[in-house]
Amino acid sequence: MTKTSFLTRAFIVAGTIFLAAATAQSSYAAAPGAAPAARILIIDLRRAIGSSKVGQSIQSQVNEMKSQAQATLNGEAEGLKRERAALEQQAAILAADVKARKLKDFQLRAMAFEKKVQDRGGLIQGGMLKANQQVEEALGPILQGIMQERQATVLLDRSAVLLAPNAIDVTGVVVQRLDMKMPAIKVELAPLPPGMAARQQQGQ
């Protein structure tokens, strides 16, 4: 998706909520003066989003957008290929100035087409990012609520856990609640944030 993935950003944002909740709840678990007992929950955040109805809806819409963009741009791409082949065939018989002018015109059209492809890809990526941010907003309170219900002090992403035999996996519960709260969302073309768009251009 992006160099900073949505899942990572979502977990960082939600983690602020979790730490605040853990601090507020730590007193219930131990007698005064004693260290609070840790109650650990684990979530496979990537699987939760990917298997949720809204996650599948977003991916399906993005795939359809990519297919439509490809179908729209394929004709222009084929035209440029034919024009390039024709120029190569005519290279030996064209006058130098005519050849230079035709080549320059072709290069300008090719660059404009490449920008068009990049712009459409950026709009699709921006739309997916915007939709994911809305999922992120819905996910935070769900995770906070589960922590409160389970009286947990820590919530960890499974990818960050090496060994936690006493931890409780709440991935399934998160998927169920996310499905109820946000079963689908419409993905619409949207520009990338300026900083992200600049990094994308530098990476081209």
- pLDDT tens digits, one per residue of 137-191: 999 999 999 999 999 999 999 888 878 777 899 999 999 999 999 999 999 999 9
CA–CA separation, 137 vs 179, rounded Å? 14
- pLDDT tens digits, one per residue of 66-83: 999 999 999 999 999 999
pLDDT of 196 > 90? The answer is no
Show the CA angle centred on residue 52, arms to residues 48 and 58, nearest 5°: 115
- pLDDT tens digits, one per residue of 1-56: 443 354 544 444 444 344 434 444 444 444 555 556 678 999 999 999 999 999 99
In a domain, 197, yes or no: yes
For CA atoms 21, 25, 26, 29, the dihedral sign is negative
Cα–Cα separations (whole angstroms), residue 131 to 35, 95, 147: 41, 54, 25
- pLDDT tens digits, one per residue of 110-145: 999 999 999 999 999 999 999 999 998 999 999 999
In a domain, 111, yes or no: yes
Give me the phi and psi of 156, to 5 degrees please: -120, 145
What is the pLDDT, as a whole number, of residue 151?
92
What is the pLDDT, as a whole number, of residue 3?
39
Whole-prediction pTM: 0.72
Instruction: Specify burial of residue 97 (Cβ count, 10 A radius: 0-12, 13-18, 19+).
Output: exposed
Q: Which domain holds residue 82?
A: 6-203
In a domain, 165, yes or no: yes
Please tell me the total count of domains within the chain.
1
CA nearest 127: which of 82, 188, 67, 59? 188
In a domain, 1, yes or no: no
Output the furthest CA–CA distance in the chain (Å, rounded). Answer: 94
In a domain, 127, yes or no: yes
In a domain, 161, yes or no: yes
